[in-house]
Each structure stands twice: as structure tokens, then as C-alpha cells.
Chains A and B, each alone.
Chain A
């Protein structure tokens, strides 16, 4: 995989081990796959994890997305960019059916993960969301201890059979999220007592504790300072070895730094998508060019 020339310097020095770094967590990968039967079986880097075809979304009478067709590659970072209200978050929320929680929202078209339509009647959104984790704009740790925050997913999905196993999952997740060293001695203090950047890494640890296949991030750094942002970006870069990551961002520099593929949305339409490097150096559409050069948005 070619590195992006605009990439953030911090993430360059990092070795990318190809093997699964934590065996404990892998051993507890959820048996959820049976709920959505694996279509293509083994997914290798370079294949597409998510395929969206003719996705239209309505909020009441207002159409928010128009005929979106997009393929999201596995084990890489895909960035959605575009001005506010362009539909990028709406599309993100379609992937794990978070729009179900909004009564007026209607989604047409198909979104397939490993060849299985997420909107199919047989798919339980609860099971889907255990495979597709999500990180929000504002850190939203639960009003519980750090440990309980990370253990939340494994507990509700019954991923751990004993206390020791649960502790192992929590430790592995916190280590993956790069938070373990900072919180190891205060696992049983409130998660809300952490700093903003730590909270965001805590909710990332919470999301990866259930070993999802896809992690959706909705502007994960917009509420953070530059140093915390750099840490999260570094983390995203590490996580893409194991997960398919989709990130919505307002910062084009961030998209350039962390993503391998970029999709540009404008007024509810997917204008252009392609390898990040190409998008930023040689955009095909004039709207894309105008946006990335800062002429609007």
C-alpha cells in the first residue's frame, strides 16, 4: 500500500505488524458472524468490505442522500469529506443502521457488508452494530468506571465467560487504544474523569472490545485539541491493520493524513471517490477541487 505523501509525520515511523497483535482479543472474536453469514469467506486486504448501491435517505420529506454508490475497502481507512450537511454523517449512520433510532428516517438502496445487505429483514440491528462499531463526534463515555465502559460491550454480548476473561478483553482493548499505560492504575475510577482525548480513546477501546469488523468514526477529533488529535490519528493508523475504518472528517488535512481512500460528498451526492493521494493531487471533479483547495465549504 502506498503511503500518502501528505501523511502526518507522526504516523510515518510506525511499524505496521501484519499479524494480529493481540491473541487474547482474537480468541474472543464474537460468534456474530453466524448471524450475518459470511458471503465471501476470508477477506483479504484490497477486497471491498462494504458495497453501497443506490442509497437514498429521506428524513421525512427531505431527501438527505441521492443515489450513493461506494465501495469501502477492507483493512484500510476510508475518509468521507464534504461541507456541513452534505450527507456524509447520514451515510455513515446507514452502515450500522443508527438511522433506525430516528423515526422519520427512511433508507432505500442496498448496503452490503461482506455481501450481506444490512437492511435485510433477517438482520438484527443489534447484531449488526456489534460487528460495526461507532465512535462519535463528542466523546460519550458512560457514567461508569473506565473498566465498566470497556466491559460494556463484551458483557451485553456475553463474550466473556469469566471475570478473568473479561479483564483480559478490557486490558487488550485499552492497550490497542493506546490508553492502557495512562489508566492501568485507575481502572475503577469514573471514565468521565478523563481528559477529552483520553475519553475519545476510551470510547474507541469500548468499540473495539467487541472485536468489530468495521469501525465508523463520525468526526472523532472535532472536539479535541491538536495533541489529542495527533494521538487519535496515530491510533487510527494502527487500527487499520485489523479493522475496516470509515472516518467522517471536516479536516482535509486529517483525511489526507489518515486515509487511503477518500469520498467527497456534496449536497447529498457522492461527487467523487478514489485513492486519497489521487483525490488530493488530481481531483477529477471541479467541485472536489474547489473544496479541497478551500474555495468553499
Chain B
């Protein structure tokens, strides 16, 4: 509340600084604004920025980290009665102090005797510290705001380059935003590497990358009965690859052909109907595709294969028939097909953009040679669009590899090294989900293996994206 009030006050002050800066500039120009280096508003904006921005930043930092400062000061001195407690109990004690001090409900732990006295003393101390920290932040912010204002206003004259400086601020904000995105990514990657490194300390990296058995259920306590654990990721990547291949077999031709139809053949009316429909398909959440796969497509496929098995039973291919009759709802084929359906609008809309980007002059040139529409598409438009289409396909592969929900619901959980699309398989993403959901300790190889898998997956998709970019560049050089 206090922070919001002070931010509001700061905004008003900043507005006043704007008027002051602008007014001073106008006065310096003596009414002839053309004499000013910049437009009057730039002088106002510059004053407002210096009066408002640093103080606002200070207030925000205070709101974010003020509580920590208070905690640190409060916990610096611990009465003997508190120091005697275990570290866990000490934490409870201090969080109770904070809770009471800020008027909230404390835990149900009872404090007696010397502990009671220490508790009451600390509550009073906490309230004092809170006040001191808060008001010192406020005071500091006020000083900074006033300082910025006083620093800038005297410098305003006709020669002052306010526009350049305001634009410098704008550039600074833009840089900060892009740096934030880069730093966040870097942070994620670094944490992934750090946790994976902890994992690879207990499980050898070669065994992880090339091992063919995946059984992460290891004993948490000595009395538990469980396997000793095996962390060979090959079956997971094989499963991922299988599902991805099936998905691309569905999505690549259908998506590409629909893009060709939409961009080259469809008339305007049809195009304006089909495109939004495809975009609706792209907007369906993957979890919906997931239960569509698990509840509709899975049983359908199972019934289909069981039916074929029954027809074939007793014939020359009895072995295959027996197998088909036992096919379950969960299989790589179901997950792959549904994932392919999910990817169709993705592939189609990317390819459509790429095909539309092929210059009309190439089509005209081909038509003028007496080529038919299909010859033009096959021999001129598609070759010109090929690098872009390849890149679109690789992006779709990246998405298929990283897709989680559909495979979780439709592919199964058993790690198997198989190329049979009717078998249940599991994928890297599914394993990460099952390893990390629920209450987990983050120091057993079982949970840490999720980070190993995540890192490997990241490297694979990064590699795919780099290859996609390379392909695009290579063909650009040749054709543009």
C-alpha cells in the first residue's frame, strides 16, 4: 500500500518535472520554439525521466528485497533461548515473529518461559526494523527524485540536446528488455547444466547416452524394495524418434499440400474460410489433443487392429494375428497420428507464408513459358520455396520432440527399445514429467536424471534448429 502510494506520488512529481522542464525550455527560447535544439516536450520528458525513473527503480527494488533486509537484520541477533533450538525450529520461530508483527496468524507452536520473552521482544524489534527499512527506502527514493530533478532543470537551455538524451534513454530501455530475455535463457541453460552435472556425478554420462535400459525407480530408503536403477536413455530417445517420425509422416504431406492448395489454387473466398479453420486447429490446447488421443483415437485403433487380428486368426499368419489381437489403447501410432494432426496447421501456415513469399514474377515467367499451374508449382514455386519449407519441417520436428501432453496420455509409460508403432513406448518428455511430478527430493539420481534428459533434449532441438538455419542460409546463397 505504502509502495503504491509512493509510486503514485512519484508519478505526480515526475509529471510536475515534465511541466517544469518544458516550461523552462520555452522560457529559455523566449517563445520561439524553433530556437530550441529539440522540441519542448523532449525537455519535459528528459526532466520527468530523471525525476521519476531512478526513484521508481529504487522503490521497486525496495518492495522486492526490503523484506529480506528486514529478516537479515532481525535474525542477526539471536537470544540464547532461540539459539538453543534446532535450525528448523529457529526458522519457525522467526517466521512466527514476522507473522505476529505484521498482524497475521502464526503457527500453532506454543512459546513458554524465556522463549516467550524472546518472542515478544523480537516482535517489537521486527516492527521497529520494518518501519526503519521502509521509511529509509522512501526517504532515499525522495532524495533521488529531488536530486535528479535539481540536477537536470538548471541544464535546460536552448543548446541542450534533450532529444538525443531522451532517445538514449529509450534505447537503454530497449537494450534492457532484450538483455533480460537473453539472460533468462542463459540462466535456464546454466541451471540445467548445473543440475545435469550433479546427475552425471552419480551416473556415468556414456552409460546415460548409450545405455539401453531405463528403470529409474531406485530405493529411496534402505528398507524399500526396488531395482537398483538403470539410466540408459536410448529407449526414451528411440521412443521419441518413433513418435516424431509418425507425426511427421502425417503432418508433412498434409500440411504442405494444404499450404500449396491454399496459396496457389484456392480462390479468395475458400482461402478466407479454410485459413481461420486451420488456425482454430492450431489453437486447440495440446491437453485436448491428449485426451482425444487417449479416449477416441486409441480405442478406435485398438478395435481396428484387434478386428484385423480376429480376421486373420488361424490363417497362415497366425502369429501376427495373435499379436494384433492383444494390441492395447496406448501405442506409438496413436500418439504419433494425433501429434501429426496437431502439427498440420503449424506446418501448413508456415509453408503457406513461405510459398506466398515466392515472387509473383517467377510464376508469371513460368506461365508465360506456357507452363500449366501444376508445372509452375512443381518446377518453379516449390524449388524456390524449398529451403524455407525444409526449415519449417525442422521446426515442426523440434515441436514434435518437445511435445509432452499427447504422448503422456496416449503413448504409454514403459521404456522399450522398439520400432513397432503398435507397441507402447515412452518419450523423453513423458519421463521428465513422471520423474518430477509429485513430492520429490532433488538430490536422488532419479529426480536429477530429469535434468540430464532435459539437457540432452535441449541439445538435440538446438542442433535441429541450427541445422534448419544452416539449410536456409545455404540455399539463400545459391538462389537469391
Contacts and interface: CB of A to CB of B under 8 A. Distances in A.
A129 B368 contact: yes
Size range of the chain B interface in the assembly: 20 to 34
A210 B370 contact: yes
A143 B479 contact: yes
B267 interface: yes
Contacts of B364: 98, 101, 134, 136, 140
Contacts, number: 75
B480 A192 contact: yes
A58 interface: no
A126 B370 CA distance: 4
A127 B371 CA distance: 9
B379 interface: yes
A98 B367 contact: yes
A103 interface: yes
A141 B371 CA distance: 15
Contact of A156 (B359, B369, B479): B369
Contact of B370 (A130, A136, A138, A140): A130
Given A103-B267, A143-B384, A136 B369 contact: no
Nearest to B364: A136
A130 B478 contact: no
Interface in B62-101: none
Interface in A159-209: 190, 192, 203, 206-207
Interface in B358-374: 359, 361-372
A130 B367 CA distance: 9
Contact of A126 (B361, B363, B371, B479): B371
Most B-side CB within 10 Å, residue of A96, A143, A144: A143
B380 to A, nearest CB: 5
A21 B155 CA distance: 82
A115 interface: no
Given A140-B362, A142-B384, A129 B480 contact: no
B369 A96 contact: no
A129 B365 contact: no
Nearest to B380: A142
A133 interface: yes
A190 B479 CA distance: 7
Given A103-B267, A143-B383, A144-B383, A207 B361 contact: no
A127 B366 CA distance: 13
A156 B384 contact: no
Size range of the chain A interface in the assembly: 20 to 34
Interface string B235-275: 00000000000000000000000000000000110000000
A152 interface: yes
A12 interface: no
Given A101-B364, A206-B369, A207-B369, A192 B375 contact: no
Contacts of A126: 370-372
A131 B383 CA distance: 26
A203 B367 contact: no
A140 B358 CA distance: 11
Nearest to B372: A126
A98 B368 contact: yes
A103 to B, nearest CB: 7
A166 to B, nearest CB: 15
B365 A156 contact: no
A144 B362 CA distance: 11
A129 B369 contact: yes
A157 interface: yes
Interface in B135-186: none
A142 B370 contact: no
A283 interface: no
B478 A190 contact: yes
B379 A156 contact: yes
A133 B479 CA distance: 24
A207 B267 CA distance: 29
Most A-side CB within 10 Å, residue of B267, B371, B480: B371
Given A142-B380, A143-B383, A190-B478, A156 B361 contact: no
B225 to A, nearest CB: 65
Contacts of B369: 129-130, 133, 152-153, 156, 206-207, 210
Contact of A129 (B363, B367, B379, B479): B367
Most A-side CB within 10 Å, residue of B361, B365, B366, B480: B365
B439 to A, nearest CB: 58
Closest A-B pairs by Cβ, 7 of them? A130-B370, A134-B368, A129-B370, A143-B479, A140-B361, A140-B365, A143-B384
15 contacts: A96-B368, A98-B364, A101-B363, A103-B268, A129-B367, A142-B362, A142-B366, A142-B384, A143-B380, A143-B384, A143-B478, A143-B479, A156-B375, A207-B368, A210-B369
Given A129-B368, A210-B370, 16 more contacts: A96-B368, A126-B370, A133-B369, A134-B364, A136-B364, A140-B361, A142-B365, A142-B384, A143-B383, A152-B366, A156-B369, A156-B379, A157-B370, A192-B479, A203-B365, A207-B369
Interface of B: 267-268, 359, 361-372, 375, 379-380, 383-384, 478-480
Interface of A: 96, 98, 101, 103, 126-131, 133-134, 136, 138, 140-144, 152-153, 156-157, 190, 192, 203, 206-207, 210
